[in-house]
Structure 1
Amino acid sequence: MEDKVREFNALFRPRPAPADLANHWVFGVCHVDLNPPGDLVMAVHPGSSSVRQGGPTEILSLATGPEKAEAIIACLLDAFIKGSEHPMGRQPTDPPPLAPWTWSTLDPEIAVAVQDGLKKHGIHRELCEVGVCSAEERDLLETARAKIFDLVLQSLAPRLPANVLPGDSTRCHGCGMSRECFFQPLKQCARCNKASYHSRDCQKKHWQHHKPTCLGRASVPDVDAHTYYNTNAPADPAAQALMRSLRLESHPARSGLALPLRRLVITGQDTPEIMRLLFGPQWEKQMKKDHQETRMECLLDPPPGSPSHVMNAYFDDSPMVRSLRPATKAEEQRVEEVRELQTLIRRRVGAGKSPSGSDMQAILSTFGADWVRRIPAYTMAVNTMDQGVPATGHRT
């Protein structure tokens, strides 16, 4: 590793990349179903769509974050030292290798682990700060992955399963590759919710094979999320186990959706797959807004004395250990907006006091014509800040 670090640190590292484009790169890890299988580290330059790749090697199956980070760093340095996106290696016409000025990745936990590893190995100080990429940058990574897979994987003839069983969400039902091969989550067939695909093109190619199964399920009536949770989920062993882990089976409020939704969010288990397991295939259509609001409230972590804290203590008398999924960029911006409004409210009425209707009008009027848009954020700010509201005691 010392030789790689020395060679990487010696690379030309312009602040603007060639053609005056920002020298920022986005990297991620994807699986390749070769024989034997392995994992690739891919980096893409958003401005020019240039690609660098390192591997394949073992990364995703490693047990700890530091182990994964060490393997990622080795591949990442190799990718820039080689300086070529051509599958057959560096070509005479390729530009000279260069190092990035800044970079980011998909997973916040991996970003932290890679940061620590880069510092340990003595990489350029600025590159020891690894950001988290945007949704648009994730799309660019997926486009780059498709390009590399088309060039490399087809020629290597990966061994993929001929058929994927209905309901298996671990593989694309069209090409058979595992979900770890892609930088975007697999998307379900909207008609039957039993087949998953990595792209619309792959779904179209697979339609003739999937059509009999899909149309056979099309006549099954939709079940609303509340009915599914109270009728279908209790008959599913996996959903039963999840309910037990969330301590829902004997709770007096267990038949409603608010309590299980809150406990899923608090424990970081509010992923699409788990939400579908508990609330059925229609969950997003029926619960998207409630899910967003519950996540926001939990991210804000209302203090004692706030209406939300008092209500939650009364409603949920068996709180779970907090392990929320990291906030998205949009959620971070909304949290910041709510915190700013809370600061304005405290400046006007003082700490631990409730704002009146005239206070609300005075505060929102400072935003001019934009005040109407801020009403939901203001309501969230008031409900999640200490107003000296007394606790009401637990349920009986």
Structure 2
Amino acid sequence: MNQPESEVAAKCSNPRCETASSDQLPLCAGCKQARYCTKACQKEDWKDHKLFCKHVASNGANSASLDPMLYYQKIAPYDPKAKSLASDIGLALPGPNDEFPGFAMLMRRLVVTGRDTPENLSLLFGQNKAGQLDECHKDTRLEVLLRPPPGSPMYVMAKSMGYDENCPPWTPREPSATEAQKIKEIRDMQETIRRHMGSRGVSNITSGDMREILVSNFGNRWSQVMKVYQDAVNAMDQGVGL
């Protein structure tokens, strides 16, 4: 291990260590970022630290193919930039024995604070973002930009899961042209639903209403707009309570 060049009080990077912070903690020779009070502490933490250490030593090449979930659990918690980002959006990165919390809350925080840039997504989830993570990002952006009202299934779900507890102010990025078009399609669908339901109100909508709305308005294209219909209904006040 190499001695740090600057004397800055630091805590041992082994989360199991109870030694007080010190200005004499040597740096890990591999990544030059983690600090340990003893060789024994470094050895005890190596199982959890090694992926991040190799990630830094290889300039990210060693972790390029990591699953986003594994990256979030094993790389991000050791990365000072990732930790700073998590703190900015009101979250704490996981410890070595914590279970993966799922993408939903993490992505929502990034989106509502306008921090869901490619660079920030890479800080938390790595480079391998195709598939489930990418879909979660798209769906979350759409939901946040729709601003579902109280009483809507989307609003109640977010509230019941505590997604916005201790959340900084909402400052989502403006919708792209593609997102703006999708939002318009959903808003138009909501108007179609309201006209169909009339005095009965959206809270009384049934599967029969769904079929009638889709078939009468979209004919044999009804299956192509099913997702739009679902998003529209879930973002409407149906009187759903917590």
Change over 3 Å in CA distance of 1:237–1:343 after alignment to 2:
same
Q: Does 1:300 align with 2:150?
A: no
What aligned pairs does 1:58-207 form with structure 2 within 5 A after superposition? none
- Match of 1:331? 179
* TM-aligned CA deviation for residue 235 of structure 1: 0.5
1:231 aligns with 74
AA in 1 matched with 2:171: S
1:371 and 1:299 map into 2 onto residues whose CA distance is 25
Alignment of 1:14-93 (within 5 A): none
**Residue 233 of structure 2 corresponds to residue 382 of structure 1:** yes
The alpha-carbon deviation at position 284 of structure 1 amounts to 3.5
Give, as a single letter, the amino acid of the residue that structure 2 aligns with 1:327. Answer: P
Q: Runs of 4+ in structure 1 displaced over 4 angstroms? A: 250-254
From 166, 191, 197, the counterpart of 1:343: 191
C-alpha RMSD over aligned residues: 2.7
Q: AA paired with 1:261?
A: M
State the alpha-carbon separation in 2 of the partners of residues 294 and 274 from structure 1.
16
Aligned residue for 2:214?
Answer: 364
Change beyond 3 A, Cα 1:331–1:274: same
Partners in 1 of 2:122 and 2:130 — Cα distance? 8
2:142 alignment partner AA: M
Unpaired segments ≥5 residues, structure 1: 1-193, 195-212, 392-396
TM-score (norm 1): 0.42
Distance 2:64 2:144 in 1: 34
Give the deviation of 1:357 after TM superposition. 0.5
Once the 2 structures are TM-superposed, how far is the Cα of residue 325 of structure 1 from its aligned partner? 0.9
2:180 is paired with a residue whose SS is helix
Q: Deviations along 1:234-253, whole A, 9 cap, x unmatched?
A: 00000011111122118999
Alignment gaps of 5+ in structure 2: 1-55
Kindly name which structure, 1 or 2, has the bigger radius of gyration based on alpha carbons: 1
Q: Which has the higher contact order (CA 8 A, sep 6+)?
A: 2
**Counterpart-to-counterpart distance in 2, 1:305 and 1:220:** 43
**Contact kept? 1:253, 1:259, Cα under 8 Å:** no
Q: How far off is 1:303 after superposition?
A: 0.2
Residue number in structure 2 paired with 1:312: 158
Q: Can you list the C-alpha shifts for 1:104-161, whole angstroms capped at 9, x where unaligned?
A: xxxxxxxxxxxxxxxxxxxxxxxxxxxxxxxxxxxxxxxxxxxxxxxxxxxxxxxxxx
Q: Which amino acid aligns with 2:158?
A: N
1:320 CA displacement: 3.5
C-alpha spacing 1:340/1:390, structure 2 compared with 1 (3 Å): same
Report sequence identity in percent: 39
Cα separation, 2, equivalents of 1:221 and 1:333? 33
CA distance in 2, matches of 1:304, 1:311: 10
Count of residues in Structure 1 that have an aligned counterpart in Structure 2: 179
What is the CA-CA distance between 1:317 and the residue it aligns to?
A: 4.5
Residues 1:246 and 2:92 aligned together: no
In the superposition, the TM-score normalised over structure 2's length comes to: 0.67
